[in-house]
Amino acid sequence: MGIIHDSFDFVLYHKLEKTMQVEDPLSRQADYKMGIDFNNTNQVLLKPEFFAINVLEATHKLPINDEIILKKVKAALLLDEVTKDYKSLLKSGPREFEKSLQDWNYENGLLLYREKIYIPHSVEDTLRQQIVQMHHDLPSTGHPGQWKTYELVSRNYWWSGMTTFVKKYITGCDMC
């Protein structure tokens, strides 16, 4: 049976309902009859108002339709030393790089890594900070914390060290 029950000396016997004349009425409440008569017809135990929708859907393949951010990304790509010649490298790069460049693509003036917009490094990282802020500080996202913010940002953007960057941003958030 169990460790606790083994220390006691008792035996359980089943008694039929008919033989429990005194005990049976005491174990039943008056309102139980309602459940028997109506067989729980139209009884809703888990009402919709008890539930809150806490999920944010991935409704957009491209980033938030903010032309200002996209323009800043395109301008930063042109100024970035690492990605300055990315177009020519993607089109006519050496064969040795061909396999490592499979995840990279150039579309509409944006550099994509695995179909996510690459955000280049800048001195102050203001662009990266704006993107994290856009996904973390809005009232609709409700300061979701480190991992949810990372998930929201990584749906559309990518940069090296993004996890660390988001962690540092969240650490500096007073509300979180």
Q: Per-residue pLDDT tens for 106-121?
A: 888 888 888 899 998 8
pTM, full prediction:
0.57
In what helix (H) or strand (E) does residue 151 lie, and over which residues does it extend?
A: helix 146-154
**Number of domains forming the structure of the chain:** 1
User: pLDDT class for 123, splitting at 50, 70, 90?
Assistant: confident
> Would you state the structure tokens that stand for residue 152, as one six-digit string?
């929201």
Asked whether residue 123 is assigned to any structural domain, the reply reads yes
Asked whether residue 149 is assigned to any structural domain, the reply reads yes
Asked whether residue 9 is assigned to any structural domain, the reply reads no
**Of the candidate ranges 7-11, 123-127, 157-161, the one whose mean pLDDT is the lowest:** 7-11
Asked whether residue 39 is assigned to any structural domain, the reply reads no
Asked whether residue 158 is assigned to any structural domain, the reply reads yes
- Give yes or no for a contact between 113 and 104, defined as CB atoms under 8 angstroms apart: yes
Q: In what side-by-side order are the strands of the sheet with 157-158?
A: 104-107, 110-113, 116-118, 157-158
Structural domain including 83 reads 67-171
Asked whether residue 137 is assigned to any structural domain, the reply reads yes
Helix, strand, or coil here: 6?
helix
The CATH number of whichever domain residue 115 belongs to comes to 1.10.340
Asked whether residue 142 is assigned to any structural domain, the reply reads yes
pLDDT, greater one: 174 or 133: 133
**Model confidence at 10: pLDDT above 60:** yes
Match 């001195």 to its residue by tokens: 123
Asked whether residue 16 is assigned to any structural domain, the reply reads no
User: pLDDT class for 61, splitting at 50, 70, 90?
Assistant: very low
